[in-house]
Amino acid sequence: MAERPEDLNLPNAVITRIIKEALPDGVNISKEARSAISRAASVFVLYATSCANNFAMKGKRKTLNAGDVLSAMEEMEFQRFVAPLKESLEVYRREQKGKKEARKDKDKKADSEEQDKSREEDNDDDDERMEEEEQNEEEEVDN
């Protein structure tokens, strides 16, 4: 998939909001400054990805995992991010788990009128859909 130039940029509205919330009330941000920060953020993603990928390759893995990103932060001299990132990750994982449980329950309710055999087939579909999340759990074990 070819990326259009704007796809490598982050949404202006979100960037502006993050900046505004970080700075004291009443501080103006010039349009130029906002645009510069947005570009810097994209460069940050590329730099972090490249760095994380080096760690994945060192571990002979083809998939970037959480540990790779955290190692990248230390390598890039953003150690200050590591603790808050770990906290956020815990919340995120719990949220994802909760969503998965909710989806399983919802599907069970929908299946309640079908026979046992078809219910098993639907569960297989569920497994395919949640492949990414299951991959997460496997990665967690590796971590």
Shortest CB 140 distance to other proteins, Å: 8
**Is there binding between residue 141 and other proteins (CB under 8 A)?**
no
What is the Cα–Cα distance from 92 to 43, expressed in whole angstroms?
Answer: 25
CA gap 61, 129 in Å, rounded: 23
Biggest distance spanned by C-alpha atoms of the chain: 63
Q: What value, to the nearest 5°, has the Cα angle with vertex 70 and ends 54 and 98?
A: 120
81 binds other proteins (CB under 8 A): yes
From residue 71, how far is each of 74, 78, 83 by CA, in Å? 5, 10, 12
Compute the least distance from the CB of residue 106 to other proteins, in Å.
Answer: 20
State which of residues 47, 101, 105, 108 lies at the interface with other proteins (CB under 8 A).
47
Of the two residues 21 and 116, which places its CB atom closer to other proteins in the complex? 21
Q: How many angstroms separate the CA atoms of 79 and 93, rounded?
A: 22
Interaction of residue 7 with other proteins, rule CB under 8 A: yes
Interface residue list for other proteins (CB under 8 A): 3, 7-8, 10-11, 14-15, 17-19, 21-23, 26-30, 32-33, 36-37, 39-50, 52-53, 57, 62-66, 68-70, 73, 76-78, 80-81, 84-85, 87-89, 91-96, 132-133, 135-136, 139-140
